[in-house]
């Protein structure tokens, strides 16, 4: 597939993503061996990553979805996290894996972790496909990370958007700066 004209370069190709996701799935399978797991997809950004990842986790899994919003249509986190879609099932005493697309400032995931704590799961871990390398990031203790990416880049594709565009690209690419600055 040709690179989208709004993408300056491809950071991770589909095969690279596939290999990494298989690895993550195997690690999670090993870590939770003998247990069952509730995997929560954080919509919309994580949907593609999530659907690949759960195919590689060889455990009894319940899948759930939550939707959060912290960006609106901007390219920086506002810190005001809003829950747009919440769980319908009780997660008390269950092992929870939150699956997200990208941790940037860490604000969104830190908020979510605190919020979920009051529901008393047996355990709560986070798996994110990407994490932005940064010294000032909140320490949200992300247990599973696919790739670290340099800061000051805005990435799109494989579920990630800018103003609701580019989510369906099969790779992760860097969005041309002039499109969001
Ligand atoms: P944080 O609160 O700054 O960690 O931002 C987390 C959320 O912002 C992610 O779940 C994404 O939805 C979105 N986000 C952050 N950086 C990017 C990016 O480079 N591309 C697309 N979405 C991003
Ligand atoms: Mg997100």
**pLDDT tens, residue by residue, 20-63:** 999 999 999 999 999 999 999 999 999 999 999 999 999 999 99
The pLDDT tens digits of the residues spanning 139-175 come to 668 999 999 999 889 999 999 999 999 999 999 999 9
Measured between alpha carbons, how far is residue 65 from residues 62, 78, 85, 117, 179 in Å?
10, 22, 8, 17, 30
How much of the chain is in helix, strand and coil states, percent to nearest 5?
25, 35, 45
Would the pLDDT of 107 be above 90? no
Give dist(CA 109, CA 178) in Å, integer.
28
37 Cβ closer than 6 Å to some ligand 1 atom? no
7 Cβ closer than 6 Å to some ligand 1 atom? no
Query: What is the CA(1)–ligand 1 centre distance, in A?
Result: 25
69 Cβ closer than 6 Å to some ligand 1 atom? no
Q: Are 93 and 121 in contact (CB under 8 A)?
A: yes
Task: Please state the atom number of ligand 1 nearest to the C-alpha of residue 154.
Answer: 19
Q: What pLDDT sits at residue 174?
A: 97
Q: What pLDDT sits at residue 140?
A: 67
Q: Are 174 and 153 in contact (CB under 8 A)?
A: yes
The pLDDT tens digits of the residues spanning 17-29 come to 999 999 999 999 9
- Residue 85's contacts (CB-CB under 8 Å, 6 or more residues apart) are 43, 65, 66, 67
């Amino acid at each position: 597939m040709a690179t989208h004209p709004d993408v300056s370069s491809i950071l991770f190709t589909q095969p690279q993503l596939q290999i990494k996701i298989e690895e993550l799935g195997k690690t999670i399978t090993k870590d939770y061996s003998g247990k069952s797991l509730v995997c929560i997809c954080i919509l919309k950004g994580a949907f593609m990553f999530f659907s690949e990842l759960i195919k590689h986790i060889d455990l009894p899994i319940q899948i759930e979805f939550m939707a959060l919003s912290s960006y609106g249509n901007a390219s920086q986190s506002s810190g005001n996290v809003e829950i747009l879609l919440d769980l319908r099932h009780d997660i008390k005493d269950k092992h929870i894996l939150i699956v997200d697309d990208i941790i940037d400032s860490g604000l969104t995931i830190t908020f979510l972790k605190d919020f979920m704590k009051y529901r008393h799961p047996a355990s709560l871990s986070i798996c994110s496909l990407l994490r932005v390398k940064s010294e000032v990031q909140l320490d949200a203790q992300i247990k599973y990370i696919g790739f670290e990416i340099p800061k000051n880049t805005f990435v799109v594709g494989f579920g990630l958007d800018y103003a609701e565009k580019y989510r369906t690209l099969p790779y992760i690419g860097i969005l041309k700066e002039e499109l969001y600055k």
